[in-house]
Chains A and B, each alone.
Chain A
């Protein structure tokens, strides 16, 4: 396998990741300005960021918005402004936000929320089954939002794994030998082999240990840009 072909996959992933995060920049600006301008924001105030959220949809991005940290809003503990582009027109997401409700699912347990909260950095979460929103196999890109230097929630974008695969499979196929893009836990996002199905863990490659040790380039394992996405060529 020529290393040049591997370079192309790594560069393409890095470019896709940058494009998604670029789409989120105006949303983050809108959220952080809102939280400065409105001292006691209510759920209805989130409408002000709606135009920027809807603008972020498009390309690979099929869902986007802001998810508030608990108690950032003054009139309810949980809240968000999230829109999806799975139909002809953008649609707003509504889920139960009442902790006492039978349908309540606590989003502050989801990794797309906790990782950006705990590291203070942008993150690509998944692949995972997004049962809170579309029920699809998804990658969620998140950036922490701040108010007065404190964590105030995440701004995020959803990309369907099948669309990500659709874009990247041609270059993976052209590598000519077994290759997979996996996340930092070693979970397959897209591979060019039936031996590493989407969603499975490539335990042999031991990506988590390599990742935690600093992810220095080594034979058969390469990081894509600064994203937690890794090209494995076993």
Chain B
């Protein structure tokens, strides 16, 4: 009774947060972004990253333990460790991509287009040489990450697509490495920051996490060149070109997801 009563008066912001944290970590584990045996950050660190209370993280970890996705060891060298479920990571992200509807994908894509496109236009107007320098660094991150996708991931993807049709986008798509997805996210985050807009930056981060981070699951093979062209347009203060290139870059990412979704049906 005492506990139930205190729950009634729990801060409103914390309601549903444990579920949200659980869902986020479940997605990351099922997509293979968090590998088997990988140690999770400490409860306090997770709380900081998610912006929730430590008790909320603790609650989420309890749920993950019950689902068998996390094991906790006490003592020296202890902590919470990821247990990848038996069906393997690739099947899980495919299940997720199969489950999402085309109308949802379209809508997320449209929203992302509006946010990232506007950010690119404003970044071209407002970037100082220092901002442009940071955008070039972020552009290079993708070159360094490309090719880091392991052959395992490629094989898994190819196997899953053995019944592929003539959808050309999907036929040339590989699941990217976590490094590629991170480089994609970081680049667009830097563009939003260069736009000098906290709100667009915040939306950028939120959209990147939609559907468990589905958006940059299938990065472009030309991602480095595309980021380079966007950075070049921003450096030349050509806002319309920066916006157009960003929109194309995102439309193609969404098209790859749509093609892959159809192939998985």
Where the two chains meet, the residues of A that have a C-beta atom closer than 8 Å to any C-beta of B are: 92-96, 98, 101-105, 109, 111, 127-129, 131, 135-137, 185-187, 198-201, 208
Contacts and interface: CB of A to CB of B under 8 A. Distances in A.
Interface in B95-150: 125-126, 128-130, 134, 137
Contacts, number: 69
A102 B181 contact: yes
Interface residues of B, number: 30
A137 B198 contact: yes
A200 B41 contact: no
Interface SS of chain A: helix, strand, loop or mixed? loop
B197 interface: yes
Contact of A136 (B44, B137, B198): B198
Given A111-B130, A137-B196, A201-B128, A129 B48 contact: no
B130 A199 contact: no
Nearest to B128: A185
14 contacts: A92-B48, A93-B48, A95-B48, A95-B49, A96-B45, A102-B33, A103-B49, A128-B196, A129-B193, A129-B196, A137-B198, A187-B128, A200-B126, A208-B128
A96 B41 contact: yes
Nearest to B47: A94
Contact of B189 (A109, A128, A131): A131
Contacts of A103: 49
Contacts of B181: 102
A199 B47 contact: no
B186 interface: yes
B154 interface: no
Given A128-B193, A137-B196, A201-B126, A109 B186 contact: no
A177 to B, nearest CB: 24
Given A127-B196, A131-B193, A135-B202, A96 B130 contact: no
A94 B45 contact: yes
Contact of B130 (A92, A105, A129, A185): A185
A44 to B, nearest CB: 12
Given A129-B201, A199-B126, A201-B128, A94 B178 contact: no
A201 B124 CA distance: 11
A198 B197 CA distance: 10
Contacts of A136: 198
B258 interface: no
B229 interface: no
Given A94-B45, A95-B48, 16 more contacts: A93-B48, A102-B33, A102-B181, A105-B186, A111-B130, A127-B196, A128-B196, A129-B192, A131-B205, A135-B198, A137-B198, A187-B196, A198-B196, A199-B126, A208-B128, A208-B129
B58 interface: no
A102 B126 contact: no
Interface centre among A93, A96, A129, A185 (most CB of B within 10 A): A129
Nearest to A185: B128
A215 to B, nearest CB: 17
A187 B195 CA distance: 12
A137 B47 CA distance: 23
Contacts of A109: 134, 137
Contacts of B134: 109
Interface string B44-61: 111111000000000000
Nearest to A101: B41
A135 B201 contact: yes
Contacts of A105: 186
B186 A129 contact: no
Nearest 5 A/B pairs, CB to CB: A94-B48, A199-B196, A185-B128, A129-B193, A94-B45
Contacts of A200: 125-126, 196
Nearest to B189: A131
B41 A98 contact: yes
A96 B205 CA distance: 15
A105 B208 CA distance: 15
